[in-house]
Amino acid sequence: MKFLFDDKAFSFQALRTAGHAACGGADLGEVLVTCEDVPDGNEAAWCRAWSATAARLHRAGDDALAAGHRVSAREALLRASNYYRTADFFRLDDRDHDRESDRLALHSRETFARAAELFDTPVVPQRIRYEGTTLPGYFFLAGPTDEPRPTVIHHGGYDSTLEELYFMVGAGALRRGYHVLAFEGPGQQSVRREQGLAFRPDWEAVVTPVVDHALTLPGVDADRLVLVGTSFGGLLGARAAAFDRRFAACVLHNGIYDFYRLPLTVIPAHLAEWVAESRDEVAGPALAVAMSHSTQLRWFLRHGMWAFGAKTPAEALRACMPYNLDGVAEHITCPTLVLDAENDVVARGEAQRVHAALRAEKDLIRFAAADGSGEHCQEGAALQFHQRVFDWLDERGI
């Protein structure tokens, strides 16, 4: 789906940001006017435009709160948080030393935290014990805790933030009476930025302490825990569900079987061979040329260098190799819903591979382009996504 830009990466990210309007994370007119003067593929202009819009909403939220307008303040601050995240998205030249990137990320977290204090139902920040440190999270309560409720445990994937998880899944779950424990793990935004922890393929080592933590929280029904993993998290979540049997259901949003295969679909076969053989003296220059012609590939590899702790694009590609479900998917025992998206051409066939490998009760839902829900992770179609996922869970008595 083309949305405002010819550049595929810009188009998708603009749609992603706009799609969060369904859960209070954007307003369409703000998205349109922000994108209006951003040239296709101009990452500096993208950052400036979104940063300016975020700052304007940030001020509006501050002013509304000072004037006692609680709902208006919450709404403005939620949008500011999403726009700050969007502004930072393509800033990957040297993220570990980029003060502007740090500023944008901090503002995204802080504006969301302030908005969360203004919710009609409690939102409790969490620090989850994990291997000598802690992971950040939010516990969103759907209502009183005197009666246990089903609870969604949700993590994102390659590039989502803790705050964005509310717009993706949290808001839809809360409307249906689920508590939600959202968290970030190693390799993901604030954990990578503040603690330097990179992704790890044995994601069950991350999720198991999160489940332990969830079971200490008030109002959580231990028999109705649902794991939702989004994007790359669809693979990570499957790995976790295979080794932690405490979930009543698992949702893979979307299903990915082999993460390494995804970038290989957009580079020549001979280049993929050079990377696999560690022939970096020829792979490095060839990757640099390929990255110069594709915003998507350039972003994927630069982000991978940061998220995996790799020194070069070739190393970032090789870091993807262990992330697959070989010998794993068949060990999942809980009912599992695998989601697919018609327009997600880079991941074409991945959801079907996951579904075929599962031995537990399973379903596959393919979202269609004709319905406006065919983009990766149903970006731009949050309400359709929520409807089909939570109806599926309802039908299983969760």
8 A C-beta contact, residue 137 and residue 211? no
Of 270, 254, 228, 168, nearest in space to 393 by CA: 228
101 is written with which tokens?
């990137």
Strand order in the sheet with 133-140: 123-130, 133-140, 179-183, 149-155, 220-230, 249-253, 336-341, 362-367
DSSP-based three-state secondary structure for 148: coil
CA distance 368 to 347: 15
Q: Which candidate in 11, 81, 231, 373 is catalytic?
A: 231
**Cα torsion angle, 219, 224, 225, 226, sign:** negative
8 A C-beta contact, residue 7 and residue 40? yes
State the Cα torsion 230-341-396-23 to the nearest 10°.
60
- Sequence-ordered list of residues with C-beta below 8 angstroms from that of 7, at least 6 positions apart, any chain: 40, 41, 295
208 is written with which tokens?
């198991």
* 231 given a catalytic annotation: yes
Of 229, 192, 215, 217, nearest in space to 96 by CA: 192
Angle at 32 between CA 26 and CA 34, to 5 degrees: 85
8 A C-beta contact, residue 242 and residue 249? no
Residue 98: how many other CB atoms lie within 10 Å:
15
DSSP H stretches of helix in the chain: 8-19, 28-35, 43-66, 70-88, 99-116, 164-165, 171-175, 189-195, 204-214, 232-243, 261-264, 269-276, 280-292, 295-308, 313-319, 350-357, 382-395
Cite the active site residues: 231
